[in-house]
Amino acid sequence: MLDSNFWNDSEISNKLVGELKNIKSVINSINELSNGIRGNLDIVNTDGDEEILSMVEEELPLIKNKMDRLELETYLSGEYDNCNAIFEIHAGAGGTESCDWANMLYRMYNRYAQNSGYNLIELDKQNGEEAGIKSVLFQINGTNVYGYLKKEKGVHRLVRISPFDANKRRHTSFASVDVMPEIDKNIDIQINESDIRVDIYHSSGPGGQGVNTTDSAVRITHIPTGIVVTCQNERSQIRNKEKALDVLKNKLYLLEIEKQNEKINGIRGEQLSNGWGSAKRSYVLCPYTLVKDNDSGYESSNVNAILDGEIQDMIEAGLKK
């Protein structure tokens, strides 16, 4: 950072400043914890006064909490854990009921991002015919976002009395959640113009006059793989195309990594269907209340709080598992 040319490329320099900030945060936390423990040990070893010992004991829960936070950070050392996260949520079979469930999940992650001080940017959303959403593409920006949220990937199952059923019957709905890191824009992925089809159309939903009255939304189809990416967040067609291409590059890069891992390990990647028997997590609102994560074994009866974005404990359980 002391180099005179450091700020010539703002994108790279800002990234390095962010890395430095994260490293300093970890080091400062370790030093603060170490000094606190050492100071308490010195007090205990030099002064046996019961009042002093009682004060030291009162600090133990605080010290343990700091140690738990530092331990959690050791699980966030994957190659892409410090990246932003790109989410896709798709409603499963079930019409309006599943579309509403997909929207509930979107709200859950939105509230989690707000509570955690992260920034959520909606890139594309396809509304359901009667209620909810058919699909949504969004990005959550912040420190270690992908590291925390990478295990949210999978099929999420909801059991409840349907508000759309006049007979008040119990329904089971499914929605798929895909999570990938926002990888450096300079990743070596070449996309030939002949391999993609670009469709331009009117943006839909809220967004203001400039978004909804121009052909600014972009849909890119990668013909060889069948991957489709849409973006309508930006007012400019050019900006939407750039973002859609960035997301497509991320998908192709991760697809290539999966192929290499499968070749090395001699296995085929697990394919999840968006329906029965494949749920990563179940949210039950009737006949009892329970959230159960099948990967980590985490359970909670406070379903409403979790659907309101209070998922940090569940996320940490997944990381530790």
- DSSP-assigned beta bridge partners for residue 283: 158, 291
Same domain, 260 and 279: no
Which of 64, 44, 62 has the alpha carbon at shortest distance from 53? 44
79 lies in some domain: no
C-alpha angle 280/285/289, rounded to 5°? 85
Characterize the bridge pairing of strands 154-161 and 279-284.
parallel
| pLDDT per position as a tens digit, 230-274 | 998 877 888 899 889 989 988 998 888 887 776 665 554 444 555
> What pLDDT does residue 316 have?
92
> What pLDDT does residue 206 have?
47
DSSP state letter for 189: -
| pLDDT per position as a tens digit, 81-123 | 988 999 999 999 778 999 999 999 999 999 999 999 999 999 9
169 lies in some domain: yes
The number of domains in the chain is: 3
Note down the domain range covering 157: 85-183+274-320
> What pLDDT does residue 296 have?
93
188 lies in some domain: no
Same domain, 175 and 202: no
> What pLDDT does residue 209 have?
42
Q: Which stretches does DSSP call E strand in the chain?
A: 85-91, 119-127, 133-141, 154-161, 170-181, 196-201, 217-222, 227-231, 279-284, 290-293, 299-300
Q: Cα(128)–Cα(299) distance, rounded to whole angstroms?
A: 30
Q: Is 130 left (phi over 0), alpha (psi -120 to 50) or beta?
A: alpha
> What pLDDT does residue 73 have?
81
Q: Virtual CA dihedral for 215, 221, 222, 228, nearest 10 degrees?
A: 110
> What pLDDT does residue 207 have?
44
Same domain, 165 and 303: yes
- DSSP-assigned beta bridge partners for residue 125: 136
CATH of the domain at 210: 3.30.160.20
Backbone angles phi, psi at 316, to 5 degrees: -65, -35
Where the chain has pLDDT below 50, the residues are: 206-212, 268-271
Which of 193, 172, 149 has the alpha carbon at shortest distance from 274? 172
Same domain, 21 and 155: no
> What pLDDT does residue 11 have?
77
Q: Cα(53)–Cα(182) distance, rounded to whole angstroms?
A: 49
Map residue 79 onto helix, strand or coil.
Answer: coil
Q: Which residues contact 16 (CB under 8 A, 6 or more apart)?
A: 1, 6
285 lies in some domain: yes
Report which residue type is found at 176: S
Report which residue type is found at 17: V
> What pLDDT does residue 210 have?
43
CATH of the domain at 146: 3.30.70.1660
> What pLDDT does residue 306 have?
97
Question: 288 burial class (0-12, 13-18, 19+ CB within 10 angstroms)?
Answer: exposed
C-alpha angle 58/60/65, rounded to 5°? 125
In this prediction the pTM is 0.78
> What pLDDT does residue 229 have?
92
Same domain, 37 and 161: no
